[in-house]
Structure 1
């Protein structure tokens, strides 16, 4: 049994897992921010009176 190799493998595995979790966290936060920005943009674009009246006088 090669204990140093097992130790290195376990350490690398932990680092990979930590990096994966960090990237997933960043991705989740970015998606939440993008969703909030999209919601805000859609709320600002709502104009209920737009297109209700048409001026046909020449």
Structure 2
């Protein structure tokens, strides 16, 4: 194999590896943000359950008049 074509192949492999690493980092960041959002949602649900336990009569029925 000629040196110029070998050099181009190695360079292209390096670029492909850098692109793969960048995509993996973005995926990891997105997963981290989703995890934080899920944790916030679970905390919110726990707060609502606690509020309902303190005042169980609220929100149990809806008065509708026509």
TM category (shorter chain) comes to 0.7 to 0.9
Instruction: Give the aligned CA root-mean-square deviation in angstroms.
Output: 1.9
Question: 1:49: how far off?
Answer: 4.4
- Report SS of the residue matched to 1:50: helix
Tell me which stretches of 4 or more aligned residues in structure 1 moved more than 6 Å.
none
For structure 1, which runs of at least 5 residues remain unmatched after alignment? none
The aligned length equals 55
Distance across 1 between alignment mates of 2:27 and 2:52: 37
Matches within 5 A, 1:1-12: 1-12=1-12
Query: As a proportion of its length, which structure holds more helix?
Result: 2
TM-score, length-scaled by structure 1: 0.81
Structure 2's unaligned 5+ residue stretches are: 61-66
Match of 1:50 in 2: 52
